Structure 1
Amino acid sequence: MIVSVQKSVLSGEVNAPASKSYTHRAVFVSALGTRKAQLSNCLISDDTRSTMNACRLFGARFDETPDTICVSGFGNHPKTPDEVVDIGNSGTTLRFMTALSALCDGEIELTGDASIQKRPNVPLLSTLQKMGAAAYSKNDNGCAPLIVRGKMKPGKYSIDGGVSSQFVSALLLTCPLLDGPTELLIDGELKSKPYVDITVDVAQKAGVQIIEQGGANGNISYRIAGNQHYDLGDYTVPGDFSSVSYVLAAAALIPGSDVSVKNIFPSAQGDSAIIDILKEMGADIVWDKEKGVVRVVHSGKKLTGIVVDAGKTPDLVPTLAVLGAFSDGMMLIQNAEHVRFKETDRLAAMAAELSKMGADIIETKDGLIISGQNSRIKGAAVHGWDDHRIVMSLFVAGMIAGNTVIDTAESIRISYPSFFEDMKKIGARVEI
């Protein structure tokens, strides 16, 4: 899909889409449940469909209405799929199903699209091996297709926390079903920790206890009792801060804009940091937490670049890059090397595409340096890299620069299927 966007001024209200991260976990936890769960306000996207479809192969049943998803779980007894588990483009699904496969009898193969077959899984595979399962890459490169033969056993184990929090989340959600206690020690810094916090939040709402502990050397560990049972019951998925970051950033950058985003309540999402980041950059932004409404009014002045540590908020990096390109001063995005292992290398992608538009941007080993005052942004034909977050962030840049064309725009179906429609409602000039 090709999208063209012209200079736009934004005004009005938009509802935040449901959180992709919370939907993934609510669906998976419900599938692990012993009783029916009813999920409301779920994000139905390509990625979350991947989790639902994969859970079906392990024995879960889903009944959908326009407003809810009713899940009948397989409890502590997932069946062994009789076909290859194809998870499409969803890294979360791959990691969750890989850990789940280590609870099953028999051999399971998991794979995905070309992008998934480039994403690393070594920390999860090596930890599953230490736990007693056979888990390896079919092509011996740490990437899908993956082969798993259970079963993993409880005990005390360690895992590298520096590549992806999804490895940790996958184990935290499956270990409660083992027949004894498990302690999981995180080696080094746990990158994207707020996503693990979301995992723990959903598990606890389903009645499962996962206890976080701090170590003497600064490392953290998680203690998980065995023989637990999930029961999520009735659950409503909160709005998604990652997705609304594009709307908020656009309103903060485009003169004359006045935008309110509804269904944004406090949660464990680390990307809620976008509100404080915009405030620090000088945006006129107010969050009514009780009503769940964020309003941004362009104050007539340009934002100012700041230093941002993206260790806990990797999904904000494309948005931050655009904010830096259109701000005064220097924008320094640090501690973001793990962003290179997403759907694409997002540091390289944003540096390449914003450079085409005239941004003064330098790619470093773990971040980006953007000199907004030296950038001369103009419209351009840019590549979306088949990555939803690259496409949506470049769309924000296009609304300011005008005359911008973005390819692979269909990738927004991964996390925000109604993005272009929502942007049109508040004034975006877009042709698909």
Structure 2
Amino acid sequence: MALLKVKPSKLAGEVKAPPSKSYTHRAFMVALLARGESKVINPLVSFDTEATIEAARTLGAEVSQEGDVWRVLGTAGELKPRADTIDARNSGTTIRLMSAIAALSPKLVRLTGDESVCARPMGPLIEALAKLGTKARCEGLRGRPPVVVGGGLRGGEVEITGAISSQFISALLLVSPYAKEDVKITVTEELRSKPYVEITLELLDGAGARIKRSRDLMEFKIPGGQVFKAIDFKVPGDFSSASFMLAAAALAGGTVRVSNLDVQSAQGDKRIIELLREFGADVRVKGKAVEVSGGGELSGIEADCGNNPDLVPALAVLGSVAEGRTRLLNIPHLRLKETDRIRALASELRKLGAEVEERPDELRIRGVKRLKGAKLTSYGDHRMAMALAVASLVAWGETIIDGAESISVSYPSFVEDIRKLGGKVELV
């Protein structure tokens, strides 16, 4: 298990945001299903996205790489699995979205992953796929992975909850155009993390998919028998990953500039710019770069994070040292990530001296003047590890964080980038 040692640091300089994990997953999945050769330019190559690339190969795509350009010869929806098992590793996106795509396989495919992935809820998606006419079942207890899927997709009408994960909706949107008959999807309950559905739709629109949607994205009507056209897609920078660098700048800057960020992107986590300003940070957008100057006093905020769960770890760290109280609301789905992030954040930030109250669907934090170094656990969760590293930059003494190898799931160059900005971090 890798440890990350962090000492108080002052940051300044420029780094480039890594490519978006969410766009990378979806681009390779659309390319797998498309007819002809697609190009995915500058994708994120990380532990998570490698699971999706391998799954695409397993289901019949030909994938090759030339520098930053990846070529994918798609299947036109006629999957020819090269193996009967897909290992999603630590990637919840891979197992959920690829489970739906695997419904098109003529033979059954088993999808599994590590301990964290096999604790993720899958029941509602598997039930929906079965209702649309594929063979689908969960082998784990209480609707958990492994899952077994295949046999083709008939079509029909289905309801799916939006309260557990927007990935259920994205999964059905990816596969439904290939159903034999038309599909109608109705989302029940609140659709949380809606921007991720918008990212899915952006890529599907680019591939020529015909999907009629209501304005609130609670109902979709999809003609069957479609085939995607090949895509030529450049992956944008990732606001979710960049949020850690931007938060670090607000806490421990100096002026830090993060390039490769397009504020016109569909990514909901570009909201980090607005939220940093609410905290009182000095934030400037200059073309496709975001610049944050720290050193000023931060004030607590109240934010509904239902659509931005991946920002919560960085926001919780900011709240830990901001004056007054910070409330991060509407985040029950944060308990169903790589770990229970509500509980994990409360536990580890308290070790640093923060005042944190854990509620069923929110975090309440009262800022303290200075955090203190401690021995922390990341619970094997990449966003926990990065958030705790950011907090440690402004904590007295040395902080040691375990499970730092998980960072490679989404931001392989995180430690290198922190060092480039002047951070005193060491991976051991």
Q: Shift in Å at residue 20 of structure 1?
A: 0.1
Choose which of 272, 287, 293 in structure 1 pairs with 2:289: 293
Q: Which residue of structure 1 lines up, in the alignment, with residue 122 of structure 2?
A: 121
Q: What secondary structure sits across from 1:320 in the alignment?
A: helix
Q: Which residue of structure 2 lines up, in the alignment, with residue 260 of structure 1?
A: 257
Question: Contact 1:253/1:302 (CA < 8 Å) preserved in 2?
Answer: no
Q: What secondary structure sits across from 1:97 in the alignment?
A: helix
| Deviation by residue 1:27-50 (Cα, 9 ceiling, x = unmatched) | 110111101011111100011000
Q: Shift in Å at residue 235 of structure 1?
A: 1.1
Percent identity reads: 45
In structure 1, C-alpha distance between the alignment counterparts of 2:269 and 2:412, rounded to whole Å: 19
Kindly tell me the number of residue pairs found equivalent between the two proteins. Answer: 424
Q: What secondary structure sits across from 1:430 in the alignment?
A: strand
In structure 2, C-alpha distance between the alignment counterparts of 1:81 and 1:258, rounded to whole Å: 50
In structure 1, C-alpha distance between the alignment counterparts of 2:220 and 2:16, rounded to whole Å: 35
Q: What secondary structure sits across from 1:338 in the alignment?
A: helix
Q: Shift in Å at residue 396 of structure 1?
A: 0.3
Runs of 4+ in 1 over 6 A off after TM superposition: none
Q: What pairs up with 1:48-59 in 2 under 5 angstroms?
A: 48-59=49-60
In structure 2, C-alpha distance between the alignment counterparts of 1:101 and 1:107, rounded to whole Å: 8
Counterpart residue type for residue 284 of structure 1: D
Q: What pairs up with 1:144-159 in 2 under 5 angstroms?
A: 144-159=145-160
Pick which of 310-319 and 131-140 moved more: 131-140
Question: Contact 1:35/1:233 (CA < 8 Å) preserved in 2?
Answer: no
Q: What secondary structure sits across from 2:326 in the alignment?
A: strand
Query: Cα distance 1:260–1:376, how it changes in 2: closer, same or farther (>3 A)?
Result: closer
Q: Which residue of structure 1 lines up, in the alignment, with residue 221 of structure 2?
A: 223
Question: Contact 1:160/1:187 (CA < 8 Å) preserved in 2?
Answer: yes
Q: What secondary structure sits across from 1:148 in the alignment?
A: strand
Question: Contact 1:187/1:219 (CA < 8 Å) preserved in 2?
Answer: no
In structure 2, C-alpha distance between the alignment counterparts of 1:400 and 1:232, rounded to whole Å: 47
| Deviation by residue 1:153-197 (Cα, 9 ceiling, x = unmatched) | 222211011101111101101111122321110001111010000
Q: Which residue of structure 1 lines up, in the alignment, with residue 44 of structure 2?
A: 43
In structure 2, C-alpha distance between the alignment counterparts of 1:197 and 1:112, rounded to whole Å: 26
> 1:306 and 2:307 equivalent?
no
Q: What pairs up with 1:23-422 in 2 under 5 angstroms?
A: 23-214=24-215, 220-254=218-252, 256-265=253-262, 266-288=264-286, 291-298=287-294, 300-373=295-368, 376-401=370-395, 402-422=397-417
Q: What secondary structure sits across from 2:339 in the alignment?
A: coil
Counterpart residue type for residue 316 of structure 2: A
In structure 2, C-alpha distance between the alignment counterparts of 1:200 and 1:69, rounded to whole Å: 21
Structure 2 length-normalised TM: 0.96
In structure 1, C-alpha distance between the alignment counterparts of 2:247 and 2:272, rounded to whole Å: 8
Question: Contact 2:161/2:187 (CA < 8 Å) preserved in 1?
Answer: yes
| Deviation by residue 1:186-240 (Cα, 9 ceiling, x = unmatched) | 00111101000000001111111322215xxx78111222222222432100000
In structure 2, C-alpha distance between the alignment counterparts of 1:327 and 1:379, rounded to whole Å: 18
Q: What secondary structure sits across from 1:257 in the alignment?
A: strand
| Deviation by residue 1:11-64 (Cα, 9 ceiling, x = unmatched) | 111001000000000011011110101111110001100001011111001111
Counterpart residue type for residue 388 of structure 1: H
Q: What secondary structure sits across from 2:101 in the alignment?
A: helix
Q: Which residue of structure 2 lines up, in the alignment, with residue 429 of structure 1?
A: 424
Q: What secondary structure sits across from 2:39 in the alignment?
A: strand
Q: Shift in Å at residue 81 of structure 1?
A: 4.4
Q: Shift in Å at residue 85 of structure 1?
A: 1.2
Q: Shift in Å at residue 147 of structure 1?
A: 1.5
Gaps of 5+ in 1: none
In structure 2, C-alpha distance between the alignment counterparts of 1:280 and 1:33, rounded to whole Å: 43
Q: What secondary structure sits across from 1:125 in the alignment?
A: helix
Q: Shift in Å at residue 83 of structure 1?
A: 2.7
Structure 1 length-normalised TM: 0.96
In structure 2, C-alpha distance between the alignment counterparts of 1:51 and 1:72, rounded to whole Å: 15
| Deviation by residue 1:253-292 (Cα, 9 ceiling, x = unmatched) | 12x410001110121111011000001111100112xx20
Question: Contact 2:153/2:180 (CA < 8 Å) preserved in 1?
Answer: no
Question: Contact 1:177/1:226 (CA < 8 Å) preserved in 2?
Answer: yes
Q: Shift in Å at residue 151 of structure 1?
A: 2.6
Question: Contact 2:127/2:136 (CA < 8 Å) preserved in 1?
Answer: yes
Q: Shift in Å at residue 142 of structure 1?
A: 0.9
Q: What secondary structure sits across from 2:60 in the alignment?
A: coil
Output the aligned Cα RMSD: 1.3
Q: What secondary structure sits across from 2:30 in the alignment?
A: helix
Question: Contact 2:91/2:117 (CA < 8 Å) preserved in 1?
Answer: yes
Q: Shift in Å at residue 359 of structure 1?
A: 0.6
In structure 2, C-alpha distance between the alignment counterparts of 1:163 and 1:21, rounded to whole Å: 18
